[in-house]
Structure 1
Amino acid sequence: MTRFGYTLMTEQSPPKNLVQYAISAEQAGFDFEVSSDHYSPWLTTQGHSPNAWVTLGAVAHATERVELFTYVTCPTMRYHPAVVAQQAATLQILADGRFTLGLGSGENLNEHVVGKGWPTVKRRHDMLREAIRIIRELLSGELLDWKGTYYEVDSARLWDLPEIPVAIGVAVSGDKSIEAFAPLADHLIAVQPERDLVTSWHDTRKTYGLPGESRVVGQIPICWDPDRDTAVQRAHEQFRWFAGGWDVNADLPTPAGFAGATQFVRPEDVAQNIPCGPDLDAIVDAVRAYWEAGFTDIALVQIGDEGQQRFLEEAAQPLLGALRAAAPKA
């Protein structure tokens, strides 16, 4: 069955709110929860960016059933891969085996803060490949010495390992990244409902003789509100950055840059791409493209901190019922 998740959007909410939303989302019946991992919000109107790993540790303690994902962590610049491996192992223990490590090549917005510049796409992918290998080695529990192209690890070992191994998902966007990462990761993460991408991922894994139960995890923004005009205004104020596409989103360095790049995006432009308002059928229709493309797991982003708890209390359960009634059962 298709699984439906809730997004802990660190860019739009303070950490205590996020923990409460995680509890409410589990009570509402979501199957899993994903957390963004940012140093800065996309736009200053969002106004937040707490540390994702600290927040997820609190969420792991406060919840009992939902699976947890980073969506996604960049293990190449702001974090050394050896540190990510330790964080993932610890979180998996705290979550009693409910955690999946979602990885990606990152955005300039978050990674430039450590003063190492912003590499080309090819170099970022090369760095991510090496980082995943280091993380895998350390999660095995063995002592690791590593001297690679981008990283060194000196006599490192993880002393607290989870009983259930940490699965790794990786964000990809095309054939080159699929070829690079399908042999290294367990699950696919993608932001566009493209069937060819999903098919290519599964086919590539088959050529390497890898297991066929790989999950495909997607994400879609929505802006539920009893008043559609309010929803459209909120989506425009806080999520118009989404209109640039990931080629642009990966390279802009600051919230001010995103504000400038999207200054001519109109509310009606946002409403054409993001379902806004109280119509649950419209949200189901927007999500449908993901399961039709072969996605097994789909996380919803409810836009804005304002009204978030109301969404979870009033709309989440009927929306999940409508999604599960419409989604394929096998």
Structure 2
Amino acid sequence: MATIGIFLSSEEQSAKRLVDIAVKAEDAGFRDLWISDHFHPWIDAQGESPFVWSTIGAIAAATREVTLTTAVTCPTVRIHPAIIAQAAATSATLLDGRFRLGVGSGEALNEHILGDPWPGIEQRLSMLEESVAIMRALWEGDNVSYDGQHYIVDRARLYSLPDEPPPVLVSAFGPQAIETAGRIGDGYINVAPDPDLLASYREAGGTGPAQAGTKICWGTDEAACVDTVHRLWPNEALGGELAQVLPMPAHYEAACAPITKEMIAETVPCGPDADRHAAAIQEFFDAGYDEVYVNQIGDDQEGFLKFMAKEIAPRFSS
């Protein structure tokens, strides 16, 4: 059965609001959530970026049955993988095992803040692979010492552990990243309905669920929805590798300056048409993805959840 989940945007919502949306999503019948992990928003207009691990703890306390996946955490530069291992283990215990750690090679937007150089993709993937190995070793519960190419761990042991280690799902978009994800991942994450990337992940030995995330703007006025997306998420229309290399929201704002409302209308499903929103989601399932997480751009999260529960989720329930 196809899984429809709700995507919580840490770049656009405060921590309290994210918890509120999670509770209302569960009340509306949704049991699967994504949550983004950022230090900065993409552009200033988005306006938020709470510490995801605090938010996850609050969601765990406020909900009863949800499964939560970070989409995605970068465990390589800004935070040492040993600390991410502890955060993920604690999150898994709070959620009674209903936690999945989504990881990726990160963006300069979040990872430059301590003055570290931003590595090229080959080094970032090597760091990611080493970090996942460290986390899995720590989740075994033994004393861990590690002297690797990128990280040192000195006699570290995690005492608070879930019954089972959290699955590690890997976000990957290019051929090198796909090959790494296939070797180290317990699942795959993408934000485009691309069957070739998913097939490459499987060919590289990747197993587990394939998750995808997408953004919409539901509302009764299509033009107003387009305006909302153009104001808050013009970067949805950016292509290429800019999302990995630009270091500040101001740089994304400059890169987004040429993006028009017409381009947004072609990129993000906007307005009240359930058929259009369902068709955009169906593209991911047609490409072979198992789970699709949908984020509402803008303030009307309650109307969006009612729309999703009444008009969208039933179409994928059989």
Instruction: Using structure 2 for the length normalisation, give the TM-score.
Output: 0.97
Does residue 311 (structure 1) correspond to residue 304 (structure 2)? The answer is: yes
Alignment gaps of 5+ in structure 1 = 207-211
Unmatched runs of 5 consecutive residues or more in structure 2: none
The residue number in structure 1 matching 2:294 is 300
CA contact (8 A) 1:29 1:320 kept: no
Structure 1 residues 93-112: Cα deviation after superposition (integer angstroms, max 9, x where no partner): 00011000000000011111
2:313 maps to a residue whose letter is G
Count of aligned pairs between the two proteins: 318
Aligned pairs (5 A) from 1:143-182: 143-182=143-182
For the Cα contact (< 8 Å) 2:278–2:312, is it kept in 1? no
Q: Match of 1:128?
A: 128
Identity of aligned residues (%): 39
User: CA separation in 1, counterparts of 2:315 and 2:109?
Assistant: 33
Letter in 2 for 1:19: V
CA contact (8 A) 1:219 1:299 kept: yes
Whether 1:324 and 2:306 are equivalent positions in the alignment is: no
2:114 is aligned to 114
Q: Deviations over 1:163-205 (max 9, x none)?
A: 1321110001133222222121100011111111112222221
Q: Which residue of 2 aligns with 1:75?
A: 75
1:285 equivalent among 274, 279, 283: 279
Q: Does 1:276 align with 2:270?
A: yes
Contact kept? 1:143, 1:157, Cα under 8 Å: yes
Separation of aligned partners in 1, 2:22 and 2:233: 21
1:245 matches 2:239: yes
Please list, as runs of the form range in 1=range in 2, the aligned pairs for 1:218-237 lying within 5 A after superposition.
218-237=212-231
Over aligned residue pairs, what C-alpha RMSD do you find? 1.3
The letter for the 2-side match of 1:63 is: T
Matched to 2:245, the amino acid is: D
Question: What is the alpha-carbon distance in structure 1 between the residues aligned to residue 175 and residue 241 of structure 2?
Answer: 15
Mapped partners of 2:314, 2:47: distance in 1: 32
Q: CA deviation at 1:121?
A: 1.0
In the alignment, the residues of structure 2 paired with residue 174 and residue 39 of structure 1 have an alpha-carbon distance, to the nearest angstrom, of 24
Q: Does the CA contact (< 8 Å) of 1:284 and 1:322 recur in 2?
A: no
Query: Which of 229, 252, 262 is the matching residue for 2:256?
Result: 262
SS at 1:183's partner residue? helix
Instruction: Determine the C-alpha separation between the residues in 2 that align with 1:199 and 1:45.
Output: 36
1:21-71 CA deviation, whole Å, 9 max, x = no partner? 000011112231011000111111110110111001100111111210000
Q: Is the CA contact (8 Å cut-off) linking 1:19 and 1:55 kept in structure 2?
A: yes
Matches of 2:301 and 2:202 in 1, distance apart? 36
* Kept in 2: contact 1:30–1:320 (CA 8 A): no
Secondary structure in structure 1 of the residue aligned to 2:233: helix
Question: SS at 1:48's partner residue?
Answer: coil
Report which stretch shifted further, 115-124 or 91-100: 115-124
Deviations 1:90-140 (A, max 9, x none): 000000110000000000111111110211111111111111110111111
Report if aligned partners of 2:4, 2:313 keep a CA contact under 8 Å in 1: no
Q: Which amino acid aligns with 1:91?
A: S
Alpha carbons of structure 1 residues 254 and 171: separation in structure 2 relative to 1, 3 Å: same
Pairwise CA distance, 1:88: 0.5
One-letter amino acid of the counterpart of residue 129, structure 2: R
Matches within 5 A, 1:8-47: 8-47=8-47
